[in-house]
Amino acid sequence: MNLNSPVSVSQRAAMPVLIALSTTHLLNDMMQSLIPAIYPIIKSAYALDFGQIGMITLTFQIAASLLQPLVGSYTDRHPMPYSMVVGMGFTLAGLIGLAYAGSYPLLLLAAACVGIGSSIFHPEATRMARSASGGQHGLAQGIFQLGGQTGGALGPLLAAFVIVPRGQTSLAWFSAAALLAMILMTWTVRRHAQWRSQQAAAPVAVKLASVAGPPIRGVASVVLPIAILVILLFSKNAYSQSFSSFYTFYLIGKFGVSVQTSQMMLFLFLVASAAGAVGGGMLGDKIGRNKIIWFSILGALPFTLMLPFANLFWTGVLTVVINLIMSSAFAAILIYAMELLPGRVGLIGGLFYGLSFGLGGVAAAMLGELADCVGIETVYRICAFLPAIGLLAWFLPKMTEHPAR
């Protein structure tokens, strides 16, 4: 079969679009990850306590979480692909603000700008990724998540080798990444529009097959499953936020490592998310989303319980294994929710990127206050039980799965 024929176009993923979206996701999340990556620097520079550090995370996450579902719901009805470029403009402003902030309130304001940028980017990019999937939804979300998780992992690495040696103002150098992302987003929107035009030219039978999906459910039947999925993602994000915000302090306090070494270990923890996200997305297409969700819960829990009692070497090993397993379910959870609410991809993207990550920010602020009271090591002993919240997956309805060919 001619791979450029209308039939084949509608049945396969638009890989150039997905790769471009993954790259913009990488750049977006890389810049966001610079916020927790600079915590060790600004903690001493501004004489902050753990509670104030947690408040920075909370400000960023709340700015993103409050707007994302609203943005997603609106763009479901009125698609605005170029809004991603506007969102990146907010991120650019926030990044420069973080570089030159002269006070703690200005740090909070700059973090909020980055959060607003995230709230505008994720819903539209998530819908575009699903549209370009060609029916391989797990693969598409895995590729999209690969970029985001890799970008998130790069923050500590860049902090270790650029920001720590050169100081807070070196954050402004990364404004070049924001400008590059804007250019790439513009190209992606145009390329996606061309691909959609090719889809529109496909025979009617093929188009109907390509858009066939799960039946539309009543509101009452999806409220509880959606709430459970949000809680599942919250438990994973709360655990991840505890590492993004406080892992470096935990390593420095417990093992006496340098700031750069702690940033390198945080990088290893976060980069495991990239492998887990794409691997979980691909496996979910083949073996089913329910199995991936259960694996991410039952597989990670024994290791999280062991972590607080491990030495430095095994701390590094266990954190990689934990995040590899936990991140494998993100695409599965997202697609599960999309199948519960077909046609509301923007809302689902905004809800899950926004609300669940926002709740993770609330958890980070609470854990920061707790760390000031009982110590950072005690916090990690408590966090070890967070993945057990995932046992709520028992109450999720069974979905009819159609493994990708």
Residue 202 included in any domain: no
Q: Are residues 38 and 184 in the same domain?
A: yes
Q: Are residues 176 and 271 in the same domain?
A: no
Nearest to 318 by CA among 308, 328, 332: 308
At 31-45, the pLDDT tens digits run 888 887 788 888 888
Q: Are residues 185 and 262 in the same domain?
A: no
Q: Are residues 147 and 20 in the same domain?
A: yes
Domain coverage including residue 285: 218-398
What is the pLDDT at residue 401?
53
Q: Are residues 241 and 144 in the same domain?
A: no
Nearest to 143 by CA among 38, 37, 282: 282
Q: Which residues of the chain have pLDDT under 70?
A: 1-13, 198-220, 355-358, 361, 399-405
> Distance (Å, rounded) from C-alpha 246 to C-alpha 39?
9
- Is the distance from CB of 294 to CB of 393 less than 8 angstroms? yes
Q: Are residues 158 and 226 in the same domain?
A: no
Q: CA of 271: how far to CAs of 141, 264, 275, 314, in Å?
A: 17, 10, 7, 17
Residue 191 included in any domain: yes
Q: How far is CA 113 from the centre of its chain?
A: 17
Look up the CATH number of the domain holding residue 284. Answer: 1.20.1250.20
What is the pLDDT at residue 55?
87
Q: Are residues 151 and 263 in the same domain?
A: no
Residue 64 included in any domain: yes
Residue 404 included in any domain: no
Answer with the one of 196, 228, 250 that is the final residue of a domain.
196
At 341-392, the pLDDT tens digits run 887 887 887 777 776 666 776 777 788 888 888 888 888 888 888 888 888 8
Looking at the structure of the chain, the number of domains it has is: 2
What is the pLDDT at residue 400?
59
Q: Are residues 290 and 338 in the same domain?
A: yes
Residue 211 included in any domain: no
Answer with the one of 166, 196, 226 that is the final residue of a domain.
196
What is the pLDDT at residue 310?
93
Q: Are residues 26 and 160 in the same domain?
A: yes
Residue 175 included in any domain: yes
Q: Are residues 144 and 248 in the same domain?
A: no
What is the pLDDT at residue 3?
39
Residue 405 included in any domain: no
Q: Are residues 274 and 161 in the same domain?
A: no
* DSSP per residue, 132-180: TTTT-HHHHHHHHHHHHHHHHHHHHHHIIIIIHHH-GGGGGGGHHHHHH
Q: Are residues 233 and 331 in the same domain?
A: yes
Q: CA of 349: how far to CAs of 51, 127, 145, in Å?
A: 29, 7, 12
What is the pLDDT at residue 220?
59
Q: CA of 52: how far to CAs of 141, 229, 245, 250, 376, in Å?
A: 34, 30, 11, 17, 15
Give the residue ranges of DSSP H helices in 351-390: 357-374, 376-383
Residue 54 included in any domain: yes
